[in-house]
Amino acid sequence: MPRPGSREEILDAAERALVASGRAAIRQEKVAADAGVAGPTLIHHFHSRDQLIREVVDRATERVRQGRLERLATDVLDTYDMPALLARILESLAEPDRARLQNRLASEGLLQKDPTKALASTSAILHARREAESGKRESGEDTLFALVLASLALGAEPVVGQETWDSAGLGADADVSARFRAWLFDLLAERLGARGAENSSKAPGKNGAKRGGRRRAGGA
- pLDDT tens by residue, 103-127: 788 878 777 677 678 788 888 888 9
Same domain assignment for residues 43 and 74:
no
Residue 217 falls inside a structural domain: no
Same domain assignment for residues 38 and 83:
no
Give the E-state strand segments of the chain in sequence order.
200-204, 210-212
Q: What is the pTM of this model?
A: 0.67
Same domain assignment for residues 166 and 89:
yes
What is the tally of structural domains in the chain? Answer: 2
Residue 205 falls inside a structural domain: yes
Q: Half-sphere exposure (CA, 13 Å, Cβ side) for 175? A: 5
Same domain assignment for residues 31 and 76:
no
The domain containing residue 5 runs over which residues?
Answer: 1-47
The Cα 84–Cα 209 span in angstroms is 10
The Cα 220–Cα 206 span in angstroms is 18
Lowest mean pLDDT among 1-10, 82-91, 158-167, 171-180: 1-10
Q: Are 52 and 14 in contact (CB under 8 A)?
A: yes
The Cα 45–Cα 86 span in angstroms is 43
What is the separation of C-alpha 152 from the centre of its chain, rounded to a whole number of angstroms?
Answer: 11
Same domain assignment for residues 94 and 24:
no
